[in-house]
Chains A and B, each alone.
Chain A
Amino acid sequence: DQQVKQNSPSLSVQEGRISILNCDYTNSMFDYFLWYKKYPAEGPTFLISISSIKDKNEDGRFTVFLNKSAKHLSLHIVPSQPGDSAVYFCAASGIGTGANNLFFGTGTRLTVIP
């Protein structure tokens, strides 16, 4: 059973606009959330994280929002650039879920159109 879900397999956005990638989770024990970016033929690279004590974390053009009551997080990229075109995975972990494991979503392919 998929505990972390990314319901949009793909997203296309014009360069300069905002990209919003969404992620839902089912396990209320999750307390640490991450976003990874993956280019073809490369391993995922860490982008940004947030712990459950916060509802927002910002790093340059990337902001992650966490809504614990809705069990939902989102990644905002502003402004979007062609180099942002990649597959984005959200991941979650927490005490009681097997703290050493990260549960990954199925990924969203972002295409930024120049």
Chain B
Amino acid sequence: DVKVTQSSRYLVKRTGEKVFLECVQDMDHENMFWYRQDPGLGLRLIYFSYDVKMKEKGDIPEGYSVSREKKERFSLILESASTNQTSMYLCASRPPPVSPLHFGNGTRLTVT
């Protein structure tokens, strides 16, 4: 069974802090994704990576960056956290081609 693990379930950070959200998958999937979930907006794609060191912007990349140095790990970085980045962040992975995403349990980030 695919396991996608997000390092933190809950995080509270201050405005202006640099924040790292970590995600690890154990199924050797090429594709990894970061989404955020907000009430009334569904899930929106921030970034995805289709291979090590490869990344592409999703629909809402502003204020975020990502890092994928190893196949199993995909990190989301908030360079300078702001209150409008308070959200549920979801990491997902899948093998290509198009197939269902496997999600982690999410990180609920609060920026004060």
Which residues of A are at the interface with B, using a C-beta cutoff of 8 A? Answer: 2, 4, 6, 9, 32, 34, 36, 41-46, 49, 89, 91, 93, 99-102, 104-107
Contact = CB atoms under 8 A, between A and B. Distances in A.
Interface residues of B, number: 27
Given A99-B98, A101-B58, 9 more contacts: A2-B42, A43-B4, A44-B43, A46-B102, A89-B42, A89-B43, A91-B43, A100-B56, A106-B41
Contacts of A36: 103
A45 B90 CA distance: 12
A74 to B, nearest CB: 17
B100 A34 contact: yes
B105 A102 contact: no
A41 B106 contact: yes
B50 interface: yes
Interface in B58-83: 58-59
User: By DSSP majority rule, is chain A's interface helix, strand, loop, or mixed?
Assistant: loop
29 contacts: A2-B42, A4-B42, A6-B42, A9-B40, A32-B98, A34-B100, A36-B103, A41-B105, A42-B106, A43-B4, A43-B90, A43-B104, A43-B106, A44-B43, A44-B103, A46-B100, A49-B100, A91-B43, A93-B98, A100-B31, A100-B48, A100-B56, A100-B98, A101-B45, A101-B58, A101-B59, A102-B43, A102-B45, A106-B42
A44 B33 CA distance: 13
Interface string B89-109: 010100001101111111010
A91 B94 CA distance: 15
A42 B43 CA distance: 14
A34 B99 CA distance: 9
A42 B97 contact: no
A100 B44 CA distance: 13
B90 A44 contact: yes
A105 B48 contact: no
A110 B32 CA distance: 29
A105 B100 contact: no
B9 interface: yes
Contacts of A45: 103
